[in-house]
Every structure is written in structure tokens, then in C-alpha cells.
Amino acid sequence: MEILFDEIPSLDLADFTAGSPEKKAEFVRKLGEAYQNIGFVAIKNHGLSKELQDRLYSSITTFFTLPDAVKSQYEKPEIGYQRGYTGKGKEHAKGRNTGDLKEFYHVGQDLATIPDTDPIKSEYPANCWPEEIPQFKDDALEAYRTLENAGKQMLRAIAINLDLEETYFEDKVAHGNSILRQIHYFPIENPEAVPSDAVRAAEHGDINLITLLMGASADGLQVLRRDGKWIPITALPDQLVVNVGDMLERFTNKKLKSTIHRVVNPPREKMNTSRYSIPFFMHPRSEMDLSCLSSCISEAQPKQFTDITAGEFLEERLRELGLRK
């Protein structure tokens, strides 16, 4: 049965990780219901403290106030901007040519934590860290580890909902290609000077398995409901918003929905203000097979995607976003 939510459902991750069998089963049921309908939930008890979030936002606010000439020293176009800084307007949504009104900084796996015996280590570029902000590295890596752990618990619940072994995704995301993206939607002092169709983040679906998003510094995030209505996404300060990405939608043959979302421009009188946001894009290892689960294919729901690996899919999408040539 299709349910049209007026707001995204709120769940307590502790019900899954430390609750009774009944609470765990109820968490899985509600999560599956939400992901089959709107593709988003808000969760509490995820492990990311307010203190760490505040430190992280302080670090990135300081970084993005640096001169463009300084920030550009940390730009890595030769690796598709997958680490370090990406300048203003360089990324655009799939199917668009106008760049989004944002700049961002990417942090990936800490290579020091990956055993030399794991061949995946050679696939990842090293992180780069702004020398001007010493605490940036520690804050970002702590947040990365915390969000990765929360994501693994969410994937356990998703696996159960799909009638897979609870640990099905564990080896697929071990040292996965996840990205912590620290975003600055920069102020626009003169709205007439930007393209008329430019927005903070045009409507899009995320590439990855799931995205975990801590509370942003301002409103603006909206999700497209299945009846075509845009609804605002709001989470309480102690919550993370967790949504399905395109890889998981593909893997489940659209049983779980990667819902289109966007970040709209503020009212004209607030266009000269900043907005900060920090999503964690949880990616699997590049060799993960994204072929549709046979249990999600039927006469009523025929297979809708060709077979592809996670690494191949990521490369394809990076080119579509203008980050990879």
C-alpha cells in the first residue's frame, strides 16, 4: 500500500541495536515501509554527538571563509575532485549544465586504517588537509568513523528487510569508498549576476547506497513525494536524516526508493547568507555487484537495470555530474 507522508518518519536506532527482538523487528518494518514509499527517515541515537557536530561545523566554516586562492590549493581535478576542495559551481546535477551554487570539501577513507594486504587500498587517493586549520583533520576523521558505523547498522536493518542475512553488506562496505562531503552554499550578493536557473542544489538522487546527513545550518532541503509534491525535510537537532541512494535502488530493482531531492534558494532577502551541510555518502567497495536481487524481480516488477559494479556506476555518474572528464 502506498503511503503519502507529510513528513519523513522518525526512528530510534537504539531500538535496532539494543532493543528487544520485538523493537528490533518493528524498527526493520518501519524502515522498510519508509524506504519503499518516501526513501527517507530521521534517526536518533546514531552516535554522533552534538559536540562533534559543532566542532566540525566550526572547522568547515573557518575553511570556507579562506580566500578562493587559498582554497584552490586543495583542489584535485585529476582525481575527479574525490578528495579535497571543489570550487564554486563546478558540480551540476545529472541532465543539467548550470552549476550548483555551492562549494565543498571531500574526505575519504583514512588509508592508515586499511591493511596493506587489502587491494582496495591502492584504489583510493590520500586525503589532503588544510594546513590553515589544524583541527580539521581530527574532527573530520572522527565524524567519518562515527557515521560509517551508524551506516553499517542501518544496512544491517535494510538487509533483514530484504530477507538477506543481517551481515550481508558487511564485506561489501568494509573499507568502502564512502565520502564525507562538507558543503558551503555560498552567499549571493547580486542574484542578477548568476544564471536564472541556478540553485543551491538542483533536484537529484544520490549515487551511493545510503546517505547520512547531520542537521544543516539553515532550511532549504526538500524531497519529492510520489504524488509530485515537494515537502521540506526537517530533522531535530539530535537526528540524522538517512536516505536511499541510487545504488541501493538499483540493487533492489526499485523496491527501495532513491527519492529525488533538492536544496532550494532562500528568499531573495536571505540570498546573501551562507548555508552549511555535511552529508556522508556511504559507498560500497568498487567490486560490489549491483545486479538486481532476484527476490526483487517478478512479473509485476520486471528487471529494470543492466548489470554493473559499484565502481563502474560511480565512474559513469561522476562524468554526468561534470566532475570526471
Q: DSSP 3-state assignment of 109?
A: coil
pLDDT mean over 31-59: 94
Q: CA-CA distance, 288 to 310, in Å (whole number)? A: 5
pLDDT mean over 308-321: 90
Say whether pLDDT at 94 is over 80: no
pLDDT over 70 percentage in the chain: 97
Say whether pLDDT at 80 is over 80: yes
Query: Residue 204 forms beta bridges with which residues?
Result: 261
Q: What pLDDT, on a 0 to 100 scale, did the predictor assign at position 212?
A: 96
Q: DSSP 3-state assignment of 145?
A: helix
Tell whether 21 is covered by a domain. yes
Alpha-carbon torsion (107, 108, 114, 116), positive or negative: negative
How crowded is residue 305: how many other Cβ atoms within 10 Å of its Cβ?
15
Tell whether 1 is covered by a domain. no
Q: Which of 124, 165, 147 is nearest to 211 (CA)?
A: 147
Q: CA-CA distance, 206 to 289, in Å (whole number)? A: 18
The values of phi and psi at residue 111, to 5°, are -60, -25
Number of H helices, E strands in the chain: 8, 13
Between these two residues, 123 and 91, which has the higher pLDDT value? 123
How crowded is residue 189: how many other Cβ atoms within 10 Å of its Cβ?
8
Say whether pLDDT at 235 is over 90: no
Question: CB neighbours of 69 closer than 8 A, spacing ≥ 6?
Answer: none
Residue range of the domain that includes 37 = 10-320
Tell whether 298 is covered by a domain. yes
Q: CA-CA distance, 58 to 52, in Å (whole number)? A: 10
Query: Residue 75 forms beta bridges with which residues?
Result: 85
pLDDT over 90 percentage in the chain: 70
How many domains are contained in the chain? 1
Tell whether 5 is covered by a domain. no
Q: Which of 270, 2, 316, 311 is nearest to 172 (CA)?
A: 311
**Vertex 285: Cα angle to 292 and 99 (nearest 5):** 85
Q: What pLDDT, on a 0 to 100 scale, did the predictor assign at position 201?
A: 79
* CATH code: domain of residue 301: 2.60.120.330
pLDDT, tens only, 154-210: 999 999 999 999 999 999 999 999 999 999 998 887 777 677 777 787 888 899 999
Q: What pLDDT, on a 0 to 100 scale, did the predictor assign at position 8?
A: 85
pLDDT, tens only, 109-136: 999 999 999 999 999 999 999 999 999 9
Instruction: Please check whether residue 175 is in contact with residue 122, taking contact to mean a CB–CB distance below 8 angstroms.
Output: no
- H runs (alpha helix) in the chain: 13-17, 21-37, 50-64, 68-71, 135-161, 170-173, 246-251, 310-320
Tell whether 4 is covered by a domain. no
Chain centre distance of CA 255: 19
Global confidence as pTM = 0.93
Tell whether 325 is covered by a domain. no
pLDDT mean over 93-116: 90
Tell whether 3 is covered by a domain. no
Q: DSSP 3-state assignment of 230?
A: strand
Tell whether 239 is covered by a domain. yes
Q: CA-CA distance, 9 to 43, in Å (whole number)? A: 9
Q: Predicted confidence band at 217 (pLDDT cuts at 50, 70, 90)?
A: low
